[in-house]
């Protein structure tokens, strides 16, 4: 999906970052694909460009990419992407030791689990609060790749888990069993969207719901 989006060109990135910084807003650039060898060829030059235009951090998941950032642009802060499936405090401690500034946690964690990680490891934590959840673990999924050739792990998911699927008994081809989850149909492979709006603190007086 990200690969298919009308992404920013380099001039636009430069303009966007200077606009954001003028308005005291930080800009993080996601380079969180699981890279194949050929993806690495242009990475150092791209990292030089990102450092030059002043991005505030990159978000990465592939250890090869993380290592390349540290080697090529050691001053560029790195946030661990949610796609790296960090689900426990020992994992967060590992990424801290490697020198990452922040861990964007796996979306599969409960609030209690996040609280334990926060209490045990001194690293910035970020958690998703809204949006589509991948059916497979943290988006490490081959469904889109298998059905369309579009690789979800390189930013090109076709959201195949959200297509409509039917149940068919092998001896009755063409007969679709009417299994329904709601009036619109059945989505065997699609998970419920994440919606934690109630957990976002209100202003000026933060109110946090009790941990369940
Ligand atoms: S097909 Fe669905 S589960 Fe797989 S990566 Fe895409 S959104 Fe996630």
pLDDT tens column, 104-120:
999 889 889 999 999 99
Contact 35, 65 (CB under 8 A): yes
pLDDT tens column, 71-99:
999 999 999 999 999 999 999 999 999 99
The closest residue, in CA terms, to atom 6 on ligand 1 is: 159
Query: Residue 80: in which H helix or E strand, if any?
Result: strand 78-80
pLDDT tens column, 170-194:
999 899 887 777 777 777 777 888 8
Tell me the C-alpha distance between 103 and 120, whole Å. Answer: 13
Residue ranges around ligand 1 (CB below 6 Å):
134-136, 139, 141, 143-144, 152, 157, 159-161
pLDDT of the residue at 156: 87
Torsion of CA 55, 61, 64, 65, to 10 degrees: -20
Tell me the C-alpha distance between 188 and 182, whole Å. Answer: 12
Distance 148 CA to ligand 1 centre (A): 12
Residue 15: which region, alpha, beta or left (left: phi > 0; alpha: psi -120 to 50)?
A: alpha
* Structural domain spans, the chain: 2-137+190-199, 142-178
Give me 184's structure tokens: 């619109």
Class of domain 2-137+190-199: alpha beta
Give me 140's structure tokens: 């490490």
pLDDT of the residue at 71: 97
* Global pTM value: 0.83
């Amino acid at each position: 999906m990200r690969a298919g989006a009308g992404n920013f060109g380099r001039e636009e990135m430069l303009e966007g970052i200077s606009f954001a910084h003028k308005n005291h807003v930080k800009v993080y650039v996601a380079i969180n694909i699981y890279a194949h060898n050929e993806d690495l060829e242009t990475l150092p030059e791209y990292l030089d460009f990102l450092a030059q235009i002043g991005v505030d951090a990159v978000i990465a998941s592939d250890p090869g990419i993380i290592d390349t950032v540290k080697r090529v642009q050691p001053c560029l802060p790195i946030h661990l992407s949610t796609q790296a499936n960090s689900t426990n405090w020992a994992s967060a401690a590992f990424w801290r030791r490697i020198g990452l500034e922040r861990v964007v946690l796996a979306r599969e964690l409960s609030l209690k689990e996040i609280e334990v990680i926060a209490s045990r490891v001194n690293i910035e934590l970020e958690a998703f609060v809204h949006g589509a959840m991948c059916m497979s673990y943290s988006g490490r999924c081959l469904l889109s790749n298998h059905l369309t050739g579009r690789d979800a792990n390189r930013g090109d998911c076709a959201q195949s888990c959200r297509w409509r699927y039917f149940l068919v008994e092998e001896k009755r081809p063409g007969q679709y069993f009417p299994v329904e989850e709601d009036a619109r149909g059945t989505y065997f492979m699609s998970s419920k969207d994440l919606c934690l709006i109630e957990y976002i603190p209100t202003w000026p007086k933060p109110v946090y719901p009790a941990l369940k």
